[in-house]
Chain A
Amino acid sequence: MTSKRIGNVEIVEISELKEGALLINGLPDVGLVGSIAASFLAEKLNMYDIGYIDSDLLPPVVVFHKEEMKMPLRIMSDGSRAVLLSEVALPPEALAPLARSIVEWAILRKVARIISLGGLPTPNRMDVEKPEVGGLGVLKEDREFLKSHGVRTLSEGFLAGIYALIAKEAYRRGQSCIILLAESHLNYPDPGAAASVLETLDKLFGVSVDVKPLLEKAEELRVKLRELMRRTTETLRVSNKGYEYTPPLMYR
């Protein structure tokens, strides 16, 4: 077991991630899209814990699954791909230190690409049958990669929250990073959007999972994730998520 402290954040590795792996972030954000997608992926690909992230800035909680205690923010892997998921809403004061640590660790472990999975708040989501997915590429080669695989790139706007901070740090450090966003509800858990984002992940990186079980469990997920969604909504409000409704400067 190795431990690395980056400021207020500690990353503990139970086993080392292979060089050249993909790091898939599924952190609580719009519609819990990333959280739902990442936890489904981890289960279907039989991923195991390879480490966790801890900090005094996180809520003072632990989580229990099948009688086993787990850290709420942990890294799971199947050898060639890693998933970072959080079972707690991330407090605004923890976002920047966490983002820096995640990118620092990705560079240390020579991660090929960071992929953040999330939702794009869509006011008329009720009338959207199949959510579309758009992508953001931090580096030029990321944008070209998205376009060459037929994924629509979002051309104008703001991104706010933990994924924005990860993107910022990746940009500063020259780390390849893509954000995939599916049209989703802002404040309701959205398994339909999570399924769309997983299908795009498969299209780009061959991470293949059958999303039918996810869609079949959609209502159950919507009921059981209500409390996490509510807590996430509170933190989204405080972390300037409203910027995503703001058109950016036109002349620059």
Chain B
Amino acid sequence: MNLPATLHYTKDHEWIRVEGDVAYVGITDHAQKELGDIVYVDIDTLDKEVAQHDVFGTVEAVKTVSDLFSPITGTVLEVNAKLADSPETVNSDPYGDGWMVKISIAKPEELEELLSAETYGELVGV
């Protein structure tokens, strides 16, 4: 399973990549595989503040719909526009072009609670 060591992870199968005082958030390779073909990413929290563990959007696969939970508290600064036309990018490149939101880091201490690649890998059984 693809689990980059440079990312942080959550029990809800999101990843987060910190770049200075902002972070990129997406769903893990394991999550995209479990969901199957992703056909719609619905995020209506642009410019809104979300608290850690809040729902910031939903991801729709052919067969299922799943909420997206914010790994940290912050403001949603950007939504990946590419996903509107190509939601399948989440399947093909979950840690790269398949990112979902860029979010400001309001409480850096929350990053400490996130899971390492190793811990997340154990959680999902790899």
Whether chain B is bound by chain A comes out as no
Binding site for A on B (CB under 8 A): none
